A and B are shown apart, each in its own frame.
Chain A
Amino acid sequence: MTSPIKPPEGNWWDQPINRRESIWLGIGVGWSVILFGWMSAFTRIGDQNPIGETYRVEAEDYRDKLQAYVDEGTDTEEGLVPPGDDVYIGAGQFYWDGLPVVLETGQEYDFHLAAYDVQHGFSVRPEHTLSKQINLQVLPGYEWIVPMEFDEPGTYRVLCNEFCGDGHEAMHGRIIVQEG
């Protein structure tokens, strides 16, 4: 009856369940609902969601778009000051095109992320607090527009955290956030 290596005999489906096991089942269901509910609710009420519009884009077209954006922006010693609320970043072996860029706190920017060649990983953290870090996948063929608004000034460091070929470890860029 109770061996896992023998067929159960009789009406095993109707055997009673130990009370503590039943309680645990209830707890399990409850916890599962909480996990789902919070994740789902946070997409509505939360400020940190990996959500944004995506468009298909050819690498060459994206390169042109980014170049036009760079031409329109202002080149400073610190980096590029974008012309508007859009920030274009192109990932290539092994560099971040469009970086460094100079942004302001308290302003929402639309980050455009796309890759020129292979898959890359957009991994950002302020250099003074390494635990505040996020990672987004960057794919060739897709332009992903993810809004971001920084609340703390500082230098944010961008690494590539998707293996993009031998030399991947040297892929580094900066986002300079100034008090807005």
Chain B
Amino acid sequence: MAETQHRHRLDVLGLFDNEYDSEGYRTCSVTGLEIHKSVENHVKLFGLTAVLFMVVGGFFAITVVGTRWEAIGLLSSSDYYIHLSMHAWSMLLFWIVFMEVAILYVGGPMVLGRKLPLTVLAKVGYAVMLVGALTIYYAIWTTSAPDQAPLLTAYVPLPSSPVFYAGALVFVLGVVVAALPFFVSIWQEKRANPGGTLPLVTFGAFITGIIAVEALLGGVVAFSSGLLWRLEIVTSLDAGWYRMWFWIVGHGTQQINLVAMIVVWYFLTHVVGGAEVVSEKVSRTAFILYLLFINMGAAHHLLVDPGISTGWRLWNTSYAFYGATFASLIHAFAIPAGIEAGRRKRGKGGGLFGWLTSAPWKNPMFAAPVIAIILFGFLGGITGVLMGQLQLNMAWHNTFATVGHFHSTVVLGTTITFMAVVYFVIRTMFLREFVSNRLASLQPFLYGGAMGVTALMMMYVGILYGVPRRTPEVVSNIPGTDFSLSAAEPLFVVFGLFAFVAIAGGALFVALAVGSLLFGKRIDPAGNGDLVSDGGSAVASQTMAPRDDLELADDPNDPVHAYEMRGTFVLCLLFLAAFVITYVLNWYLITQLWSIGA
């Protein structure tokens, strides 16, 4: 009886029926946070919806890979562009942005132990986002002449359906509305504690929110002017002008991904890996650098455009002398150093890498973010800086290598990280056991490994064979000529095989997530002790005791910054070496070219 009382009549699956006290709060046994049901239920809502969009995007990944691997040649060219558009919007926008709203709610009100204010706005934002997303799907799927499939960019003056521009505008506005309760909760917190400092995760989430609003307002300008132009209310729209505004949202949303992902890295490595913040000052300064400089990254897309000056390009693409790259280098040290120092402090790390080898690798909520950190850094981060150099961009621009770059950032980085968030939400908010712990442990390695090879192959064929992006055929056949890029065929075999393995890894994620929600055993609210770092004994999991492990971190006489970070230092030097080597190789290739430019 008790259970049915607090279950909503629409909640037939019992997904929103946690027990709360009379005030609506419960204590999380893993994080120790006081969680209000208004926050928890909205996090669940946005997170679940995100996974559904991933299913759609994943389906189209199959058809897109099946076409680009020309040996299979699944789709005709007109179908290919439609499927590619569906894949892009599902994955890059819908899956990721719905997750990001959930992450804002976690980083803000949940970490602060507050209610979610203005829940009506959260619901309205959700509904508007959903309407926008479905409108975009409809517009893409019913593309007919003179309209073309929008892909991600819908570059004016290539016409896309006016319904598409309208849908994109609606979606973007919906995100802004959904973000408002987050900002209000920060405002309420600062009113309640005027002199107080926000927790690092909340601070990072706040920065994410500001960057998000900047990006989304750029989207409002781009998509509304695109709509007016398509409806012929505005007769001409400058192609270069549209590109600049589009990329404020197009790249800006990727910066939201980046910062949200880093916030999650701090959060999860702490909660399940025992990481500590080795320097509040340094980590917060890095977030401030992002706030000031990262939106300039949008200029990367305009490096080989006519009409903008060299100085403008150098200044913006370097994020004003690499201010944002420096910030990323800071996090690249601070996060692993947090794991290292935190684990050493609790006696969990001998030697150079003992802290790492003894880490809870079987826990996907730890393994996935660490895999994401490594793959994002080595593949996504480095290539982002490379292709963001004015001259190197000539070799990267619009080739398949670009696609490899952003699959390294938004898939190997963001998606893998967000998968860990979904796992975490399933265990600690839906309070469900995984249907298979073994498969859940395996999944991040399978997905990350296969997707990593896939992304590398994309980069190789793009840089070494000049294979363009966004095309269904050119490798084995360019219609109307005997020339082709067939030398790239062997690498496409590797690409195709690993891409399908990666898709299987993604399907495994969805199966685990949905299966656990439907069939997973319920977890006692005081359970989940095995998730807490080094609290994984059977006894500990029955009690609230594991929190004590983390409490140790608070001893002021034993500061974390005094612990050894030499393992992290060595890893960072290895990273720098890889950075320098790939930098030099890319520059070598560019200097082999004929002479270009004034």
Pair A42/B569 contact, Cβ less than 8 Å:
no
Contacts of B597 in A (CB 8 A): 47-52, 146-148
Contact flag A15-B326 (CB < 8 Å), given A43-B390, A140-B239, A147-B597: no
Does any Cβ of B come within 8 Å of A150's Cβ?
yes
Pair A151/B561 contact, Cβ less than 8 Å:
no
Does any Cβ of B come within 8 Å of A8's Cβ?
yes
Pair A21/B395 contact, Cβ less than 8 Å:
no
Contacts of B466 in A (CB 8 A): 123, 125, 130-131, 133, 159
Pair B199/A142 contact, Cβ less than 8 Å:
no
A-B pairs with beta carbons under 8 Å apart, 29 shown: A2-B553, A2-B559, A3-B277, A5-B31, A5-B201, A15-B279, A20-B569, A23-B569, A27-B576, A46-B591, A48-B391, A49-B390, A50-B390, A51-B310, A115-B239, A118-B239, A123-B398, A130-B464, A131-B589, A132-B592, A135-B399, A137-B305, A139-B307, A142-B240, A147-B595, A148-B597, A159-B466, A164-B158, A168-B470
Name the one of B77, B197, B394, B396 contacting A48, with C-beta atoms under 8 angstroms.
B394
Contact flag A21-B158 (CB < 8 Å), given A5-B267, A50-B303, A172-B483: no
Contacts of A162 in B (CB 8 A): 155, 398, 470
Pair A35/B196 contact, Cβ less than 8 Å:
no
Q: Which residue of A is nearest B150, CB measured? A: A163
Interface of A is mostly: mixed
Pair A35/B318 contact, Cβ less than 8 Å:
yes
Contacts of B485 in A (CB 8 A): 130
Q: Which residue of A is nearest B158, CB measured? A: A118
Contacts of B548 in A (CB 8 A): none
1/0 per residue A12-31: CB within 8 Å of B? 11011110110111011101
Pair A17/B595 contact, Cβ less than 8 Å:
no
Interface segment out of the listed B96-104, B329-337, B495-503, B528-536: B329-337
Q: Which residue of A is nearest B468, CB measured? A: A161
A68–B206 alpha-carbon span in the complex (Å): 58
Contacts of A36 in B (CB 8 A): 314, 318, 321-322
Does any Cβ of B come within 8 Å of A60's Cβ?
no
A73–B432 alpha-carbon span in the complex (Å): 75
Pair B556/A1 contact, Cβ less than 8 Å:
yes
Contacts of B33 in A (CB 8 A): 5
Does any Cβ of A come within 8 Å of B186's Cβ?
no
For residue B403, give the distance in angstroms from its CB to the closest CB of chain A. Answer: 11
Total cross-chain contacts (CB, 8 A): 318
Name the one of A15, A125, A169 contacting B472, with C-beta atoms under 8 angstroms.
A169
Does any Cβ of B come within 8 Å of A76's Cβ?
no
Does any Cβ of A come within 8 Å of B191's Cβ?
no
Q: Which residue of B is nearest A105, CB measured? A: B594
Contacts of B302 in A (CB 8 A): 137
Contact flag A169-B197 (CB < 8 Å), given A4-B266, A32-B322: no
Contacts of B279 in A (CB 8 A): 15, 17-18, 21
Does any Cβ of B come within 8 Å of A86's Cβ?
no
1/0 per residue A138-166: CB within 8 Å of B? 11111110111111100001011111111
Q: Which residue of B is nearest A135, CB measured? A: B397
Pair B306/A172 contact, Cβ less than 8 Å:
no
Contact flag A28-B330 (CB < 8 Å), given A48-B591, A131-B465: yes
For residue B64, give the distance in angstroms from its CB to the closest CB of chain A. Answer: 14
Does any Cβ of A come within 8 Å of B23's Cβ?
no
Does any Cβ of A come within 8 Å of B414's Cβ?
no
Contact flag A140-B589 (CB < 8 Å), given A23-B569, A28-B330: no
Chain B residues 376 to 429 lying within 8 A of chain A, measured CB to CB, are: 385, 389-391, 393-399
Pair B199/A149 contact, Cβ less than 8 Å:
no
Q: Which residue of A is nearest B393, CB measured? A: A50
